[in-house]
Structure 1
Amino acid sequence: MRPLALTLFLGLALAQTPLGPVSTRDVHALLWHPSGALLLGHHDGIVAWGDTPQDLVRRRDWDAMNLAWDGRRLLVAGHWILAESQDLKRFRDLSPKGLPALDLHAYAVDPKRPEVHYTLEATHGPFRSQDGGRTWRKLPAQGLPKAGMAFFLVDPKGRLWVSLMEQGLFLSEDGGQSFRPLPSPDPAPGPLALSPSGTLYLGGQLGLWQRTATGWRRLWTGAVLALAAHPQEEGLLAWVDGKGTLWRGR
């Protein structure tokens, strides 16, 4: 295949549209809220991206590293932060039991059992809650390397997917008791997202990837810092690239 033809072929993998530069520092998380708002968690709060970006929280060092939805409320977890909001206007700090510290570098909710939550505390490792984040217990997490930065995702089967930057992909099928490594298409795997039908997407140093029955397929080339899949529209994705530009594509 000629170079031009190859470029055109690869370009058809994902029709992408740049939405504009993100005027925040260190975008960590993306989440499509059921209202249709695209939420960006960053080092100083949360932005709702619509026709015009709007600050939901703008507070110095209020580091929203992770955004999760449990069916009725938004959960925000990050550096010394665990908070909730039901209306995207008022955010309430939570005081969970069982977490020795609140430096939370990953957070995920089971979509089929929203009372089951997972988090990664930077010093003490992975934890699991079975009551919506009120109380937590440390997980054995056998086979999972210690990591400071990670991305968690729970699929409809209740399996816990973990992406460890510079260390690869891991999967637990027993609620975080044990993990096994998985082949990664990217040397530095990053954010994970799941479509309504259960298709898994991965962002990394080299691009945006889709997991298929035959392996991983690259949809877009370039670093992906944050990633989200629309909860109702199959194949609709949003991501932030290495230069801080927000994209949308399907």
Structure 2
Amino acid sequence: MTAMGKTRRLVASVLCGAAVTAALAAPTAQATPGGHQDRGPGWVLTGTDTQARFRGLAAVGRDTAWVAGSGGVVLRTTDGGRHWRDVSPAGAAGLELRDIEAFDRRRAVALSIGEGEASRVFRTEDGGATWTESFRNTDARAFYDCLTFFDHRHGLAMSDPVDGRFRVLSTSDGGRNWRVLPDAGMPEAQPGEAGFAASGQCLVSAGDRDVWLATGGGATARVLHSGDRGLTWKASASPIPAGDPARGVFGLAFRDRTHGIAVGGDYRAGQESADAASVTGDGGRSWRTVDTGSYDTVDCAPDGGCWAAGEKGRVARLRQGPAVG
């Protein structure tokens, strides 16, 4: 990986998670300056007592959520954000945890990113009291960016290209064991093409077999789709700007196999990001401001519970009803 590629992942500050999930799942509301909501739904900050930057987020429900971030920090709440418990994996203090997938209040899988052995997978079955390192990358050419699960057993993790193709890990036992999938069904990567390990949404799934992979850094920003859990893939060009290591698709979200949205652009400060969102199907065409705060990622649970997370320990829960007081 080049120095530019490494820098792109470590310092990229994108709000793809907020744009992606809010467009598909969250109710809309009008915000006043400072993020305060006069009426309708709005984001309510919760106290985490940490300065970690949370780019990994898993919403289990209105009461339960997990966040993962810088310094190997993992927090969990089971009371709607009133209290957060530090459940960080032992020995992960020097790692960047950029993605976390949770099945319930006790079971979760977290991914740390980086070159070589910095890319690892951890899993817990007891609410974070103990963690098991179930995968450690031993290939210096690989850099894992994101992971996703189809159900509580089957999941994938993706790495930047190795030998000219994106590398994909697969698990069929909830993250206990991982294997590298054959790359014969993966299209060749463009020169400089890679994923953005910014918010845990460069690899997303919908249903029990469909998965999408977001790319940038190449001549064309692309979205790769697999309908067989990562065995074969088809690449589609995105209109999102590309042609530079800082440009491309940052994150994706799909509500089913035909309706999705891609968000990206140019992450560098001061650079315009025209045409930074594109949709497939008929969803995500209208946008309204929900909050002016800084968030890196948003996730919503099946029961309608939505959470947002970002820098300086910011974690917020979406207030569903009208404001009080």
Q: TM-score, normalised by structure 2?
A: 0.57
1:230 corresponds to:
301
Pair 1:161-2:192 in alignment: no
Correspondence for 2:250 among 176, 190, 193: 190
CA shift at 1:54, angstroms? 2.0
C-alpha distance in structure 2 between counterparts of 1:189 and 1:11, whole Å:
27
Percent sequence identity over aligned pairs: 11
Question: Structure 1 residue runs of 4+, over 6 Å off?
Answer: 205-212
Question: RMSD of the TM alignment (CA)?
Answer: 4.2
C-alpha distance in structure 1 between counterparts of 2:300 and 2:154, whole Å:
21
Q: 5+ residue gaps in structure 1?
A: 1-8
C-alpha distance in structure 1 between counterparts of 2:285 and 2:70, whole Å:
31
1:60 corresponds to:
93
Structure 1 residues 117, 20: closer, same or farther in 2, change over 3 A?
same
2:144 corresponds to:
104
C-alpha distance in structure 2 between counterparts of 1:128 and 1:238, whole Å:
27
Correspondence for 2:286 among 213, 217, 236: 217
Bigger mean CA deviation after superposition, 114-123 or 40-49:
114-123
Bigger mean CA deviation after superposition, 175-184 or 207-216:
207-216
Per-residue CA deviations over 1:202-246 (Å, capped at 9, x if unaligned) read: 66678999977255332437664112111322xx43223577633
C-alpha distance in structure 2 between counterparts of 1:195 and 1:246, whole Å:
24
Correspondence for 1:118 among 151, 156, 166: 156
Partner-residue secondary structure (3-state), 2:96: coil
Output the amino acid matched with 2:100.
Answer: L
1:125-140 mapped onto 2 (5 Å cutoff):
125-129=166-170, 131-132=172-173, 133=175, 134=177, 135-140=179-184
1:17 corresponds to:
43
C-alpha distance in structure 2 between counterparts of 1:163 and 1:244, whole Å:
26
Q: 5+ residue gaps in structure 2?
A: 1-27, 32-39, 242-246, 268-272, 321-325
C-alpha distance in structure 2 between counterparts of 1:201 and 1:237, whole Å:
18
Partner-residue secondary structure (3-state), 2:121: strand
Partner-residue secondary structure (3-state), 1:65: strand
Q: TM-score, normalised by structure 1?
A: 0.71
Structure number with higher strand proportion: 1
1:46 corresponds to:
74
Give the structure, 1 or 2, with the largest relative contact order (CA under 8 Å, sep 6 or more): 2
Is the radius of gyration larger for structure 1 or structure 2?
2
CA shift at 1:85, angstroms? 0.5
C-alpha distance in structure 2 between counterparts of 1:94 and 1:164, whole Å:
26
